[in-house]
Structure 1
Amino acid sequence: MSHTPSRQDFDHYMAPNYAPQQVIPVRGEGSRLWDQQGREYIDFAGGIAVNSLGHCHPVLVEALKDQGEKLWHLSNVFTNEPALNLAKALVDRTFADKVFLCSSGGEANEAALKLARRWAVDHHGEHKDKIISFYQSFHGRTFFTVSVGGQPKYSQGFGPVPGGILHADYNDLESVRKLVGDDTCAIMVEPMQGEGGIVPGKQDFLQGLRDLCDEHNALLIFDEVQTGVGRSGELYAYKNYGITPDILTSAKSLGGGFPVGAMLATDAVAKSLVIGTHGSTYGGNALASAVALAAVEFIDTPEVLEGVKKRHDLFREHLETINRKHGVFKEIRGMGLLMGAQMSDAYEGRAKDILPLAIEEGLMALIAGPNVLRMAPSLVIPEADIAEGMARLERAIERLVAAA
């Protein structure tokens, strides 16, 4: 007997840790989606900054089909050509000398944190174990990464958190100076906080972190899970600042929708990840690596990266136009195609109320906390889709204002 799944099936069969919208998308093409009833939506959410080339981009589909007829998976007893090609592509395009492949951003950050601790033990001893990160940061859902993340709500209720983790204020270098010392093994930072509200790091703040790490023989880890692979207008956001980390993590846009993650590091640091110290069952999977390589090679071109910057300006212009009419935003910020609109005082905490209204108008968007409307669309979203999506967003905001 055939069965057409419904939203009620989620409540019946799935663990209750999510609260998805009522619509169930079944097909996507470019920056548009269609649900079970055939209704169309414009996608400004991008799977939370994952669908870097939209839905079913032909370059990624071709890579998946081609590899799917050759080789899917091998254990880490073997390597494979797609994984080696992806690693080479990432090394050739970044500061890094070595790559560890995994399946998600959380895994990539877990690997980065373990590597930092192992490196510190190898070079300085057991006492050098402190990790500094920032309030409102988000680094994943493993117990280590959620503890390093600066939002206690994600780690509460699971028992004692790992020790040696300190939190400072983002974009406040003095708050870091108060915590850093010779027992610091790493500072972990997002060059632009994503879940924390789409807050770009200041140039002098990030440079100051680099200087503090150098002064105290600590490692600088850039979490670029959300900002990486073209999202900021450069292949990785560290290039916007001219500041080189020791370790960088990547996922989300890296696979264009296929689960994949990577940790990139210099030779001097990566040497501590010796045989047996870490692993990932699906890391370096041939299917994921082939798709990720296709995504990286397509995105890392002047046409796409310059297009991201141009689209950023279009998004900002539309949002500012909407705001002049309705006064719902206090600030519009972000880099490239990761943008946030902070709600004005009159609409404090109301960002989440826009999402269901937008769905009804045929638009998918996101929030970054209760007070920031977030947009992370395809890096190649057509300008016509931007204009139509913004028209739908404005209708949703008009309804929000009318109901206030």
Structure 2
Amino acid sequence: MKRTRTVIVLAIIVILFASALFYLWKKNQEDPITYTSETPTEQTIVVKTVATGSIVPKEEVLIKPNISGVIEEIFIEAGEYIKSGDLIAKIRVIPNVSSLTSAKNNIATTKTALETAKINFKTEEANYNRQKALFEKGVISENEFEGIKNTYLQAKQGVDQAQINVTSALQNYDIIKTGTTSGLGNIAQTQVRATISGMVLDVPVKVGNQVIESNNFNEGTSIASLADIKKMIFEGKVDESEVGKIKEGLPLEITIGAIENKKFDAVLDYIAPKGVAENGAIQFEIKGSIKSLDSTFIRAGLSANASIILEKAENVLAIKEALVQYDSETKKPFVEVEVGNQKFERRDVELGISDGIFVEVKSGVTKSDKIKVWNQIAGIPSYAQK
């Protein structure tokens, strides 16, 4: 019994010894960990946020009529360049029957008032002439004559005012009937003209469409929209998480989807003080003036992206952000610099701005230092990780 137990113990010892020898042999067959290294490079690091939007004219003017009617003729098309004062459209006025009847009655009333005023004036004129002769002979006093004279002058003024009322009634009738009248110039007319020079962006009406005049109670019907296409701006929106990082005056880089391989410089001019909820997120409107378009023709409404430059460091010493380690206690950054074959020493570094891939190194390493790639992926050759 003792002999069997001894054999079992010896067998276990042999197995354990063999296992240990196999483990040591296996470990000896494994390649030692070889760390690769990278050297700092000069980089231009740009920290930016992106806003989506479109290109729109800086000033778009809507041309509206100052009289209601029907479009009789249109003289322009979208895409044309016109000058201030050029004819855009002609309106045919369709008079309102009630207004026309009222205007006719007003003419009759004012003419009657004019005839009455003339009769009164003739009476006062005859009386004035008689009293003047008596005054010159000394029959009546000067005070009495002055009262008669004032009555005469008032009668004369009444005729003049009645004549003005008749003229006004006739003009009002013409305006209601035809849309214009003599003596008013551009105040009321059926010809619509451009108020600025620029390109015609849109003509939303057609011949035969009814249009409404612009007044205090109605914004009126737009006949055309004009804009100077040499003065374009970017109009877009940024998320609430980014709006706190930006401010007026920051540079923008505009890229337009329809124009490949070209960027336009702009300046951020406006940030909306109030956000708008869109798809569950708060968006803030921004606007940026494009500095120069050169000879590039940009159509209004093209979609665009604006890179808002928050920070920029040109030609600075930089390393990949993945090479930086942080002390577990102090949380200060450091790197490991190669000082011999697979021998590294710790160097504390001062970091600058980062774009998420490269980070600026202000101090701690030089351009010739070899920095350890401490988090390389096991099983992947070193040349494939670079």
Give me the TM-score of the superposition, normalised by structure 1: 0.18
Give me the TM-score of the superposition, normalised by structure 2: 0.18
Higher helix share goes to which structure?
A: 1
Higher strand share goes to which structure?
A: 2
Of structures 1 and 2, the larger Rg is shown by 2
